[in-house]
Structure 1
Amino acid sequence: MCGAGAVDPELLTVKTFYFFFYSAFGSLFPLMGVYFKQMGMNAGQCGLLIGTRPFVEFLSAPFWGGLADRWQKGRTLLLASLGAWIVFTLPLSWVQPGAVSCVTPYNQTAYNLTEPRYDEDWRPAARSFRGPASRAGSPLPVSDALNFDPKANADWVTPLHSSIVYRTPDIQKTFFLLLLLVVIGEFFSAPAITLADSAVITLLGEDADRYGHQRMFGSLGWGLAMFFVGIALDHSTAFSAHPCGGPQRYEKNYTICFATFSIRFKYEFVNVDMSSSAPPTEPTHEERMQQQLAEQLQLPGLDTSAPPPAPQPPLEHAKVFAQTTREMPEWVTVLRQFQNVKAASFLFVAWFMGFGIGLIFTFLFWHLQDIGGSPTLFGVASVINHISEIFAYFFSFKLITQMGHVKVLCLGLAGNVLRFLYISYLSTPWWVLPFEFVQGVTHAAVWAACCSYIAHGAPPGLRSSAQGVLQGLHHGLGRGCGAVLGGIAVAKWGTTRTFAGYGVLCGVVLIVFAFINFRDGGADNNFMNTEQKRSAYNAATGAAAASSR
């Protein structure tokens, strides 16, 4: 869109948008599981709070997209949704249950329950003191306290790695209030990335294949933000008013995460507002491309009275990885096209791999914290995850064209078997890092293969709806079920057994999926024509970035 070696200012704005949007998201939301855990939530409650977002986003994004098309107020909706991210996320740091008591060590193994005393310096508990440890999981009962009263303290619990004691009814009230904030906030903030992706696709026009190059800056921002926030969080041990005098070893003040999130989103809000207020210039080629963006988001300061540009050819392949769904997909019609066993098994694997993404996103850091992991480790692991996805961006196209879709999905399932079983048997948290490179295959490459498969497997008239169904199965139902059902499993069996169980299930699904597709000796045709290769390339281009959120 510009001369060789020149930097297109419009695309620079796009790259900046994605970088700060996903760096804001990555500085807070990957840590939500351990944040809710420190607040006294159990795994089931954490899973529901985190897993609700994919469901609400998938159901509400088409509604807002249709509203933007009908009212031609895309820019207003984009700014409003960015504001909603701040308005409904910051209160998550303010809503907390009240402390009713504190765990005070008596010796290395015993403890008493004492009254909360704010703004007082207590002697921190010795590292050898483990506190309530009558069972695994979090929160823990305080029934083994020396001064425990079965009548008055029956519903008292304390989070793992914390000295604060809460009442279970108070935690439940906080949970329902947080759930209300999450549902309402996600409903109003869902159109942000959908409108942005649609505008970028329009801006790129015939160069829509370059979308992945823009979105990759989102992965970069996520990884870097999580890395630096993790280091800062490790040293964030000062509380303005701690009810028990001060934090325990793994107790952190997550205010820095919320502050980083809000600052980056405020920058996004100002950036979008200012970039949309630029004065008009002569209608150069770049300005004509910008005019298309103006039509998408109704940007002021542009010559909207100019004749509309010639319609661009349909960008069906480019949209397979961008969140541009403007209407609810035709589920029944699409599923009828995938009634045969092989196609149905593909859709099931797409959902099942999304389930693993939701499970690992919600409970990986929870598990690592249980075995002694620190926020610095979380940041390093996040960097490795996104590096692996960036590498997958470069090699997914070659992998799909050489191996075929089914074999890539089998490779992803095998990677999940090794990764989840490996994590479940870890005793030293830092040893998780070598297997974090597998995420490029289990997330990005698998998503690219799914997109490519459905892009040329569905009839042309249903291709858009088929992509919507795939996004719903993988990123909506898959990730949501992974967080919610995974939370129920973690609450009942713990993270170790849950991860091991999912790893075993991946092995079973791998065997069944391979049998269904290879029993006739050649289910997956490795040869692709030119159009199919283009579809695979387009899917691979945006896969790493699309799997970031």
Structure 2
Amino acid sequence: MESSERLVRIFGREYPREALVSRLFYLCFFASYGSLFPLLGIYFKQLGMNASQAGFLLGSRPLVEFASSPFWGSFADRFRKGKLLLMFSLASFIIFTLAIGFVQPLTPFCIMKPLNSTSECLYLEQAGQIIHGGALGYLKEATGIGRKKRQTPQLIDTIIDLSSYEREEDMVPGLAPEVITRDKVCNYEEAIYGVLITPPHSTRVYRKPAVEQVFLLLLLLTILGEFFSSPGLALADSVTLTYVSDEPKKFGQIRLLGSMGWGLAMFIMGIGLDYSETFRNHPCPTKNTTEKNYTLCFVTCSLFMLAAMFVATQFRFGSEQRPDEVGCAVIDTRIDEIAPAVAEKARTRQLQLEHSEGSLWLATIKALLRGHAAVYLLALTTIGFGAGIIFGFLFWHLQDFGGSPILFGVASVINHGSEIAAYFFCFQFINKFGHIKIMYFCLIANIFRFLIISLLTNPWMVLPLQAIQGITLATCWASASSYISLIAPPQLKSTAQTLCMLLFHGIGKGFGSIVGGFIITSVGTRMTFQIYSVIALIVLTLNIVTNRLFKHDGVKYSQNFEEDEIAGTLISAPQGIPMHHGEGKLTDAFNQTSVTNANYGAIGPDPTQQAYDRYVSAPYD
């Protein structure tokens, strides 16, 4: 391949130039995401939003991404301006991200406790009785120039964070913001001040209508920003797949730098936020608060994406795939790591394609959303749903127990470190236990992980659970994407892969944040995590029962090969029949099924077919 001849020497080692460019791009691109997006939930919380509003802002992103994918695929296919579209996408990300950072509700009031008062009464005070006007304001204050104001109490000593006055036994983790009432603030009158709210871990007091207006504006910016920036990663993946077309397994190794960039950027941001308590012209300044200045995150995110944009100028575009088809190609890059026995076992459950003249989507839904495939996809969606809840609200929950940004950074490093480790070993697990049992293990891990998180009072105890999360998500996706590819009718393989991605990354993660946010608003994070554990337990039970008791999907099963059986030897296919592999090509290793013998759903007509038929049972009625 021509690209392999262009080498770059670094520290005595030579690397293909194109692969190095892709590695640097993924490092910067995902570092940009990692420096901000895991913290957006608690940033919205600090703006006075409740969990349902924050969840809607977070969960809308994957939904918009999937909804816009066909449009950008057609656009790229028609105009063939891949690099220009990539630059536009990355620039849009920077512009809309910075815009989101500038949108904040006004802070009209602070809550004050009189210095020398023995009363437990708290009072509302007009915000902003501090130095205004930037450097000029400080100069006037220092020199005494300007209009003299009457002496007022030193607000820096008397302004309080209302959440710090809440009794521990009265706290419901995850419920935010707190509504100001006369029981808590003595001079509050709703008729005069309107409905006021204050976020936990902050001294600011907002008007509720102002927060709702900011939410709507942020939602608009989020939807537009995600729409215009969504083709960026798919285009980069498309170019990288072209670079490694002779050795597609290298694609995953190149993408690993993205996980490293995400984790390390989040770790650095955690340390930085612990020292970011200084605000320029804060309206309610005090030293006794855990409020953080997230401007650092927005700036760092934009700088990393600017670096990714610079690196992307070195991409060489040619005959790449459409952005909306890249996801399926990414799944195919590791399919030949499935052991022949495990792949053959999955193919014995391959679903029949009923005659349908409708759309491919309708045919795929009819084929997959029934029997064992339906409950398997339900389990996959449940895992994605849990990932959406954790992404949006784990730090939201831990913050109420004293979790600091540096804890969040360490947790992110552990999560992505375990994800990287799982990349190297996940297919060994799949080959050892099979696709069905792997899904069982992932559901069991989620049941116990969410249950334990709900019971924690020491936020640092979440770190071991983050290692489990990284392994669970990476292994679950590797197993599900390969299994669905194997059991789907061959003509519908690409559509089935897209459906798999939609259920896990789109509906699962998107609605996980949205629905999880609504539940948290009502009952708090602790109860929400427990509810998810119960749901995962129900889905696990449904999968086990379906796979053990119901074996009738128009598919013939081997009499000697039970559904929950570990796939014996990994050297040969079931019943000792070898599986044909091509010369390392994905199409030969993957597309081995044929519709000619759809009743069996096994390997198409070949010299071994008659031998295989002797070991296949009659179809179940």
Alpha-carbon contact 1:118-1:241 (below 8 Å) kept: no
Paired letter, 1:438: I
How far residue 108 of structure 1 moved from its aligned partner, in angstroms, is 9.3
Q: Distance in 1 between matches of 2:580 and 2:276?
A: 52
CA distances 1:473-507 after superposition (whole Å, capped 9, x unpaired): 10001111100000000000000110111112212
Q: What is the match of residue 215 of structure 1?
A: 255
Q: Distance in 2 between matches of 1:352 and 1:108?
A: 51
2:333 pairs with 1:318:
yes
Moved more, 210-219 or 263-272: 263-272
Give the one of 156, 176, 179 matched to 1:141: 179
Paired letter, 1:67: F
Alpha-carbon contact 2:160-2:288 (below 8 Å) kept: no
Q: What is the match of residue 145 of structure 2?
A: none
Q: Distance in 2 between matches of 1:187 and 1:158?
A: 32
Q: What is the match of residue 294 of structure 1?
A: 318
Paired letter, 1:111: L
Write the mapping of 1:308-387 to structure 2, written as runs, cut at 5 A. Answer: 317-318=332-333, 330-387=360-417
Q: What is the match of residue 503 of structure 1?
A: 533
Q: What is the match of residue 279 of structure 1?
A: none
2:31 pairs with 1:60:
no
Distance 1:383 1:531, change over 3 A: farther
Paired letter, 2:509: R
2:41 pairs with 1:41:
no
Q: Distance in 2 between matches of 1:109 and 1:182?
A: 42
Alpha-carbon contact 1:132-1:141 (below 8 Å) kept: no
2:501 pairs with 1:474:
no
Scaled by the length of structure 1, what TM-score is found?
Answer: 0.86
Distance 1:456 1:109, change over 3 A: farther
How far residue 519 of structure 1 moved from its aligned partner, in angstroms, is 3.6
Q: What is the match of residue 229 of structure 1?
A: 269
Paired letter, 1:467: Q
Paired letter, 1:337: A
Write the mapping of 1:506-525 to structure 2, written as runs, cut at 5 A. Answer: 506-519=536-549, 522-524=562-564
How far residue 5 of structure 1 moved from its aligned partner, in angstroms, is 5.7
Distance 1:221 1:129, change over 3 A: closer
Alpha-carbon contact 1:162-1:248 (below 8 Å) kept: no
Q: What is the match of residue 89 of structure 2?
A: 81
Alpha-carbon contact 1:417-1:504 (below 8 Å) kept: yes
Stretches of structure 2 lacking an aligned partner (at least 5 in a row): 132-154, 323-328, 337-358, 551-560, 574-578, 591-621
Distance 1:215 1:267, change over 3 A: same
How far residue 460 of structure 1 moved from its aligned partner, in angstroms, is 2.0
Alpha-carbon contact 1:15-1:214 (below 8 Å) kept: yes
Q: Distance in 1 between matches of 2:262 and 2:66?
A: 21
Aligned residues: 499
Q: What is the match of residue 155 of structure 1?
A: 195
Alpha-carbon contact 2:46-2:202 (below 8 Å) kept: yes
Q: Distance in 2 between matches of 1:379 and 1:109?
A: 38
Write the mapping of 1:99-118 to structure 2, written as runs, cut at 5 A. Answer: 99-106=107-114, 110-117=121-128
Q: What is the match of residue 93 of structure 1?
A: 101
Moved more, 27-36 or 513-522: 513-522
Q: Secondary structure at the match of 2:157?
A: coil
2:220 pairs with 1:175:
no
How far residue 59 of structure 1 moved from its aligned partner, in angstroms, is 1.1
Q: Distance in 2 between matches of 1:139 and 1:25?
A: 26
CA distances 1:311-344 after superposition (whole Å, capped 9, x unpaired): xxx88722889xxxxxxx9432111112431011
Alpha-carbon contact 2:241-2:248 (below 8 Å) kept: yes
Paired letter, 1:338: L
Q: Distance in 1 between matches of 2:502 and 2:459?
A: 33
Alpha-carbon contact 1:108-1:130 (below 8 Å) kept: no
How far residue 524 of structure 1 moved from its aligned partner, in angstroms, is 4.7
Alpha-carbon contact 2:163-2:201 (below 8 Å) kept: no
Write the mapping of 1:20-31 to structure 2, written as runs, cut at 5 A. Answer: 20-31=28-39
Alpha-carbon contact 1:109-1:129 (below 8 Å) kept: no
Paired letter, 1:294: G
Alpha-carbon contact 1:358-1:483 (below 8 Å) kept: yes
Alpha-carbon contact 1:118-1:243 (below 8 Å) kept: yes
CA distances 1:133-184 after superposition (whole Å, capped 9, x unpaired): 7764111012110211132234101001111111110000000000000001
Q: What is the match of residue 460 of structure 1?
A: 490
Write the mapping of 1:417-456 to structure 2, written as runs, cut at 5 A. Answer: 417-456=447-486
CA distances 1:500-533 after superposition (whole Å, capped 9, x unpaired): 1111221222122112113479225654755799
Distance 1:247 1:361, change over 3 A: farther
Q: What is the match of residue 195 of structure 1?
A: 235
Paired letter, 1:423: I
Distance 1:252 1:320, change over 3 A: farther
Q: Distance in 1 between matches of 2:372 and 2:562?
A: 12
Alpha-carbon contact 2:161-2:203 (below 8 Å) kept: no
How far residue 404 of structure 1 moved from its aligned partner, in angstroms, is 0.6
Q: Distance in 2 between matches of 1:40 and 1:76?
A: 39
Distance 1:316 1:238, change over 3 A: closer
Q: Distance in 1 between matches of 2:294 and 2:332?
A: 41
Q: Secondary structure at the match of 2:524?
A: helix
CA distances 1:372-429 after superposition (whole Å, capped 9, x unpaired): 1000000000000011111111111110011011110110001101110110001111
Q: Distance in 2 between matches of 1:248 and 1:191?
A: 44
Q: Distance in 1 between matches of 2:70 and 2:562?
A: 38
Q: Secondary structure at the match of 1:207?
A: coil
Between Structure 1 and Structure 2, whose CA radius of gyration is higher?
Answer: 2
Q: Secondary structure at the match of 1:114?
A: strand
Q: What is the match of residue 258 of structure 1?
A: 298
Paired letter, 2:491: G
How far residue 6 of structure 1 moved from its aligned partner, in angstroms, is 2.7
Q: Distance in 1 between matches of 2:387 and 2:360?
A: 25
How far residue 24 of structure 1 moved from its aligned partner, in angstroms, is 0.4
CA distances 1:73-101 after superposition (whole Å, capped 9, x unpaired): 11111000000100111111111111121
Q: Distance in 2 between matches of 1:256 and 1:10?
A: 32
Stretches of structure 1 lacking an aligned partner (at least 5 in a row): 277-289, 299-313, 322-328, 540-549
Alpha-carbon contact 1:385-1:437 (below 8 Å) kept: yes
Scaled by the length of structure 2, what TM-score is found?
Answer: 0.76
Distance 1:129 1:398, change over 3 A: closer
**RMSD of Structure 2 on Structure 1 (CA):** 2.7
Alpha-carbon contact 1:19-1:217 (below 8 Å) kept: yes
Q: Distance in 1 between matches of 2:120 and 2:581?
A: 65
Alpha-carbon contact 1:52-1:480 (below 8 Å) kept: yes
Alpha-carbon contact 2:103-2:218 (below 8 Å) kept: yes
Q: Secondary structure at the match of 2:104?
A: coil
Q: Secondary structure at the match of 2:156?
A: coil
Q: Distance in 2 between matches of 1:150 and 1:334?
A: 56
How far residue 245 of structure 1 moved from its aligned partner, in angstroms, is 2.1
How far residue 39 of structure 1 moved from its aligned partner, in angstroms, is 0.2
Q: Distance in 1 between matches of 2:242 and 2:163?
A: 59
Paired letter, 2:88: A
